[in-house]
Amino acid sequence: MTPAVLVLVGPVTRDQVMGLSDDVRALLDATGAGVVVCDVAGLGPPGLGAVDLLARLQLAARRAGGRIRLRDPDPALHALLDLVGLRFELERQAEQREPALGVEEEVEPGEPAV
């Protein structure tokens, strides 16, 4: 199942947080995927408001038996979440994936490389 996507556009007020929490629960119920992807690229400058929002959305998702995954977080937002001890699963876009590594054999000193 493909997870639903919730696009977050900031700044988000405290009054909007309850509605967004309800949206997360409704998306989890509607899709049955167990995950809602939160596109956070449009949240704006990272701050404690964004941290509070994401913590509340994760709590709402967990209470509904699911979780949220972040799409396109600003590096500063990711660092701020780490700083306050919140860990979120990140959605990796195809172009962000690391290239496959080839198999390398260990070579003893003095032996030619294979």
Q: Where in the chain are the domains?
A: 4-92
Could you report the average pLDDT of every consecutive run of 10 residues in the chain (114 residues)?
91 90 95 94 91 96 96 94 94 54 56 59
CA distances from 51 to 8, 76, 78, 87 (A): 13, 11, 10, 11
CA atoms of 68 and 108, how far apart (whole Å) = 47
Q: Which of 51, 56, 6 is nearest to 28 (CA)?
A: 6
- Per DSSP, what are the bridge partners of residue 6? 38
In sequence order, what are the residues at sequence separation of 6 or more whose Cβ sits closer than 8 angstroms to the Cβ of residue 26? Answer: none
Which pLDDT score is estimated for 97?
44
Which pLDDT score is estimated for 96?
44
Which superfamily, per CATH, for 4-92?
STAS domain (3.30.750.24)
